[in-house]
Amino acid sequence: MTSGALTAMVAIVAVVGGPRGGYAATGQSAQLQAVQADPVYGCVVCHADMRRAFVEGIHSERGIACHDCHGGDPAALETAAAHTGDYVGTPDKIGIVQLCGSCHSDPDRMRQYGLQVGQVAEFRTSRHGQLLLGERNTDAPTCTSCHDAHTILTPDNARSRVHPTNISGTCAGCHQDESLMAKYGLSTDQFDLYRASAHGVGLFERKNFASPSCVGCHGSHAAMPPQVTEIANVCGQCHVLVRKAFDAGPHGAAARAGDLPGCTACHSNHETERVAPDAVAETCVECHDPDSRAAQLGVEAEELIVDAERDLHAADEAIEELVAAGWQVSDLRFRYQTALTDYLQIAEFQHGLDVERVGDLSRRVGSISRDIRATAEGSAERTWEHKLLLIPVWFLTLSAIVMGWFKLRRLKE
């Protein structure tokens, strides 16, 4: 390296204001970026591996440089001289929260990017934050445990450790660690149960991004287990109609009083599945006396739901048979959709324990289904009529061929 290049380097750094000062002014950030890409930027001369990781991330893209986080003199090309002044080296886990917060909690800096500034404040309220900042216990995660230190990517980047399909693996990094979790008396099965649940299958296999990852229920920076009285609200963020019906019924009142753990009483928190129609009544007797009115209600509800499911299934089969026989079924499919909507509403009202409404809907599904099946049978009969009608046609065709053949032979003779 020539001394000319070094002088130029020092000049550029002087222009951008030196350590920690310069990145904020936008006109200068392009210059800084040039500096940082320049192999004579002191820090990366010696820390080439960090540069490789860093340039892939969002901070590098925005012209932030090594010394904005680590301090030191980026113009120096010798260790002692580089690691001087406000050089902080590697910040510890608590120092990292302060470091990230120095920009991310500053509305003046973040406004231009439309970014929220609440991450540190939220983190402080989380179990993680209480453990790290309150109890100074470094088993807790800090910002870089979930975001990485250098390759920090936006959450919508599929390679980001906080992307919806990756974040549960990031949480599992600690929450599946038996020896770590044993210290806090926490189980390590959340990830495995979640992955096999309706939500895990929805997110990972069906790529349904409306399905929650760990943070969909716990929050990311504010991660906490919901209180008993909060659970219905957590699930209700997405299952709006079920929650509305649930709130209106006696179980909603019991949940608000803290006597019933909301939705997880019947669906579990991590192993979330729909309750099978023929298992409804047995759910009720887990809490209610088998001779109680509540248990009786469960038996009635189960019968109605099982009927509705059977009728819906029969209608679906009838339509599929017609499709196989080559019939137009768009009208029947439309009617099937009406039955399906009613069927889905049953699940809603079942949560309010409104068995009367469940009965109305179940009977409507039954009547639409009978209608569809009657139409289908009619069509099937007509299929046979068609086939019978075809017999004379075949007969005539065959006779024509035979007669033609005789005529041909006679002509040849």
- Considering only residues 13 to 72 of the shown chain, the ones binding ligand HEC according to CB under 6 A are 23, 42-47, 50-51, 54, 58-59, 62, 64, 66-70, 72
From the list 15, 134, 184, 390, which residue makes contact with ligand HEC (rule: CB under 6 A)? 184
Q: 42 or 359: whose CB is closer to ligand HEC?
A: 42
> What x-and-dash track marks residues 274-313 binding ligand HEC by CB under 6 A?
xx-x--x--xx-xxx---xxx--xx--x---x--------
CB of 29 to ligand HEC, least distance (A): 9
Q: Which of 361, 253, 256 is nearest to 304 (CA)?
A: 361
Taking the chain, what is the end-to-end CA distance rounded to the nearest angstrom? 108
Q: 95 or 378: whose CB is closer to ligand HEC?
A: 95
Q: 168 or 332: whose CB is closer to ligand HEC?
A: 168
Task: Kindly state the tokens that stand for 194.
Answer: 């979640």
Residue type, 270: H
Between CA 238 and CA 261 the distance in angstroms is 18
Q: Which of residues 202-221 bind ligand HEC (CB under 6 A)?
A: 202, 206, 208, 210-212, 214-218, 220-221
CB of 107 to ligand HEC, least distance (A): 13
CB of 389 to ligand HEC, least distance (A): 45
Q: 46 or 325: whose CB is closer to ligand HEC?
A: 46
From the list 2, 113, 356, 411, which residue makes contact with ligand HEC (rule: CB under 6 A)? 113
> Do 365 and 311 touch, CB atoms closer than 8 A?
yes
CB of 333 to ligand HEC, least distance (A): 21
CB of 340 to ligand HEC, least distance (A): 11
Task: Kindly state the tokens that stand for 257.
Answer: 């009083």
> What x-and-dash track marks residues 337-366 binding ligand HEC by CB under 6 A?
-------x-xx--xx-x-------------
Q: Which of 332, 331, 359, 330 is nearest to 345 (CA)?
A: 359
Q: Which of residues 219-258 bind ligand HEC (CB under 6 A)?
A: 220-221, 223-226, 231-232, 234-239, 242-243, 246, 250-251, 254
CB of 287 to ligand HEC, least distance (A): 3
How many chain residues touch ligand HEC (CB under 6 A)? 145
From the list 9, 16, 35, 99, which residue makes contact with ligand HEC (rule: CB under 6 A)? 99
Other Cβ atoms closer than 10 A to 314: 16
Q: Which of 101, 177, 168 is nearest to 133 (CA)?
A: 101
Between CA 198 and CA 196 the distance in angstroms is 7
**Burial of residue 369 (number of CB atoms within 10 Å: 0-12, 13-18, 19+):** buried
Between CA 228 and CA 273 the distance in angstroms is 19
Other Cβ atoms closer than 10 A to 66: 22
Between CA 91 and CA 98 the distance in angstroms is 9
